[in-house]
Amino acid sequence: MKKIALTATAAVAALALGLTGCSSERGGGAAPGETEAPAGFEAGATIGVALPDKTSENWVLAGDLFTEGLEEAGFQADVQYAPASNTVAEQQNQIQAMVTSGAKVIVVGAKDGKQLGTQLEAAKDAGVTVIAYDRLIENTEAVDYYVAFDNFKVGELQGQALLEGLEAKAGHDAPYNVELFSGSPDDANSAVFFDGAMSVLQPKIDDGTLVVASGQTDIAQTATQGWLAENAQERMDSLLTSTYSGDTELDGVLSPNDTLARAILTSVEQAGKKQPVVTGQDSEAESVRWIMEDRQYSTINKDTTLLVEQTIKMIGQLQAGEEVDVNDTEQYDNGVKVVPAYLLEPVIVTKENAAEAYANVPSLLEIVESY
Ligand code: BGC
């Protein structure tokens, strides 16, 4: 506490002396591995936001909310998306440019969380604070904070929804035939979602309640490169041909998000098979419709507005030289350090609780109420 108070005072003194350009310098003296107290920086500073390609609606929304919210809070917002092709290199260039242009904080939704070390280390050397947004940045010291929905909990909720959906909708008792999908291997979240789901599903596979008829239970076999719908649809097409020809029914699918859930369901519908229970995540408008129409079983509400608000709050604390709010200092080991995190609670949504779950999300509530 003492160190923070002193550093904040130093920042105020620097401001008073007009030394604003130097005010983001770190106080020095923290032991290795310890996060140093923030020094604060000038109001109106530039904040960089480097987002990945727009693989789901939440990323599209995040960009708009950051631009609006940062400007409302008095900052200059520099919000960039990595394009769909050459994404990693482009994101590296964008981060480098943000450092050059004097950004005080860089918020990163990583395309590939393992490939930003060089650029983020340069950012740290320039006194920038780095916040990993939604996706953890791995194998580097150069990340100060992580802000996300609790990813393991997302997976657990998906696993539970799959089980409950099967009991309610499969039309027969166990065993149930299921298939498993996971997200892109370059996104640190993918393994955490999958592990969370498997913490619920593996015991049910072991006791024979669930049968993964293809035998593909390893995360490498279930991965969906780039989180692309076409890759999930292609894998589902080939699973249907290899494993579910004839009378063999597919009862359920673990899908890590809504975009992939709709691709999986499209594949099954095109093959003329019975509709399986399919999970999702993100509360994309089209999936909320499919849930209301009994096509997709569940999604997760991770309200992007809340996540962006929390991130901007943390940036405000950094600007003021205050202690940054975190509520988890254990879970997110990025390979070289445990990154202090602020985790928000995800909410499972099915047709049953949709109206309640979206009570504060007018655009989705409107969809629910139209059914
Ligand atoms: C996010 C998910 C999203 C996925 C694909 C993940 O990192 O946490 O909400 O569905 O990326 O865009």
Q: pLDDT for 154-177, tens place per residue?
A: 999 999 999 999 999 999 999 999
User: What is the pLDDT, as a whole number, of residue 15?
Assistant: 38
User: What is the pLDDT, as a whole number, of residue 246?
Assistant: 87
Q: Is 283 in the pocket of ligand 1 (CB under 6 A)?
A: no
pLDDT tens, residue by residue, 272-316: 999 999 999 999 999 999 999 999 999 999 999 999 999 999 999
If one counts the domains in the chain, the total is 2
Q: Mark whether 120 and 254 lie in a shared domain.
A: no
56 alpha carbon – ligand 1 mean position (Å): 7
Q: In what order do the strands lie in the sheet with 210-212?
A: 210-212, 176-180, 252-254, 277-278
Q: Decide if pLDDT at 335 tops 90.
A: yes
Which stretches within the chain are classed as H helix? 2-16, 57-72, 87-100, 117-125, 151-169, 188-206, 219-222, 229-243, 258-270, 285-292, 304-320, 354-357, 362-369
Look at residue 62 and tell me if it is in a domain. yes
User: What is the pLDDT, as a whole number, of residue 23?
Assistant: 35
Q: Is 56 in the pocket of ligand 1 (CB under 6 A)?
A: yes
Which residues have C-beta within 8 Å of that of residue 105, sequence separation ≥ 6? 45, 47, 48, 128, 129, 130, 131, 315, 318
Q: Is 187 in the pocket of ligand 1 (CB under 6 A)?
A: yes
SS3 270: helix
∠ CA 166-167-172, rounded to 5°: 90
Predicted confidence band of residue 84 (pLDDT cuts 50, 70, 90): confident
Q: Mark whether 106 and 230 lie in a shared domain.
A: no
Alpha-carbon gap, residue 224 to 16, rounded angstroms:
53
Q: Mark whether 121 and 191 lie in a shared domain.
A: no
Q: Mark whether 243 and 121 lie in a shared domain.
A: no
User: What is the pLDDT, as a whole number, of residue 85?
Assistant: 85
Give the whole-number percent of the chain exceeding pLDDT 90: 87
Look at residue 3 and tell me if it is in a domain. no
pLDDT tens, residue by residue, 40-49: 999 999 999 9
Q: Decide if pLDDT at 266 tops 60.
A: yes
Token look-up 């280390």 returns 121
Which residue, among 58, 26, 48, 22, has the nearest Cα to 258 in the 3D structure? 58
Q: Mark whether 227 and 316 lie in a shared domain.
A: no
Q: Is 301 in the pocket of ligand 1 (CB under 6 A)?
A: no
Alpha-carbon gap, residue 165 to 352, rounded angstroms:
12
Q: Which of 136, 254, 257 should be mutated for ligand 1, with most atoms under 8 A from CB? A: 257
Q: Mark whether 168 and 117 lie in a shared domain.
A: no
pLDDT tens, residue by residue, 239-256: 999 999 989 999 999 999
Q: Mark whether 297 and 307 lie in a shared domain.
A: no
148 alpha carbon – ligand 1 mean position (Å): 11
User: What is the pLDDT, as a whole number, of residue 39?
Assistant: 67
Exposure string over 145-170, b if 16+ CB within 10 A, otherwise e: bbbbbbbbbbbbbbbbbbbebbeeeb
Nearest CA to ligand 1 atom 8: 134
178 alpha carbon – ligand 1 mean position (Å): 22
Token look-up 């640190």 returns 188
Q: Mark whether 331 and 228 lie in a shared domain.
A: no
Mean confidence (pLDDT) of the chain: 91
Which residue, among 208, 205, 198, 210, has the nearest Cα to 159 in the 3D structure? 198
- At residue 340, φ and ψ (nearest 5 deg) are -60, 130
DSSP secondary structure letters along 182-245: ---TTSHHHHHHHHHHHHHHHHHHHTTSEEETT---SHHHH--GGG-HHHHHHHHHHHHHHH--
Q: Which of 56, 81, 303 should be mutated for ligand 1, with most atoms under 8 A from CB? A: 56
Q: Mark whether 67 and 195 lie in a shared domain.
A: no
Alpha-carbon gap, residue 324 to 54, rounded angstroms:
29
Cis ω for the linkage preceding 32 (within 30 of 0) = no
Which residue, among 87, 97, 78, has the nearest Cα to 54 in the 3D structure? 87
Q: Is 134 in the pocket of ligand 1 (CB under 6 A)?
A: yes
Relative to beta strand 277-278, strand 298-301 is unpaired
Q: Which of 76-90, 286-300, 345-359 is the least confident region?
A: 76-90
Alpha-carbon gap, residue 364 to 286, rounded angstroms:
10
Alpha-carbon gap, residue 361 to 283, rounded angstroms:
10
Q: Is 227 in the pocket of ligand 1 (CB under 6 A)?
A: yes
Distances from the Cα of 272 to the Cα of 94, 183, 279, angstroms:
45, 26, 20
What is the widest separation between alpha-carbon atoms in the chain? 79
Q: Return the ligand 1 atom nearest residue 56 CA.
A: 12
Q: What does pTM read for this prediction?
A: 0.90
Look at residue 73 and tell me if it is in a domain. yes
Look at residue 276 and tell me if it is in a domain. yes
324 alpha carbon – ligand 1 mean position (Å): 25
User: What is the pLDDT, as a whole number, of residue 26?
Assistant: 36
Higher pLDDT residue, 245 or 153? 153
Which residue, among 95, 106, 103, has the nearest Cα to 45 in the 3D structure? 103
Structural domain that includes position 106: 12-143+303-345
Q: Mark whether 280 and 169 lie in a shared domain.
A: yes
190 alpha carbon – ligand 1 mean position (Å): 8
User: What is the pLDDT, as a whole number, of residue 27?
Assistant: 35
Q: Mark whether 30 and 100 lie in a shared domain.
A: yes
Exposed, middle or buried, 296 (CB in 10 Å: 0-12/13-18/19+)?
buried
User: What is the pLDDT, as a whole number, of residue 12?
Assistant: 39
User: What is the pLDDT, as a whole number, of residue 16?
Assistant: 37
Which residues have C-beta within 8 Å of that of residue 203, sequence separation ≥ 6? none
Predicted confidence band of residue 21 (pLDDT cuts 50, 70, 90): very low
Look at residue 2 and tell me if it is in a domain. no
User: CATH number for the domain including 338?
Assistant: 3.40.50.2300
86 alpha carbon – ligand 1 mean position (Å): 19
Look at residue 284 and tell me if it is in a domain. yes
Look at residue 7 and tell me if it is in a domain. no
Q: Which of 2-11, 75-84, 182-191, 229-238 is the least confident region?
A: 2-11
pLDDT tens, residue by residue, 197-220: 999 999 999 999 999 999 999 999
Predicted confidence band of residue 10 (pLDDT cuts 50, 70, 90): very low
Higher pLDDT residue, 22 or 356? 356
Token look-up 């000038």 returns 42
Q: Mark whether 38 and 113 lie in a shared domain.
A: yes
Look at residue 120 and tell me if it is in a domain. yes
Q: Is 190 in the pocket of ligand 1 (CB under 6 A)?
A: no
Q: Is 303 in the pocket of ligand 1 (CB under 6 A)?
A: no
Higher pLDDT residue, 86 or 202? 202
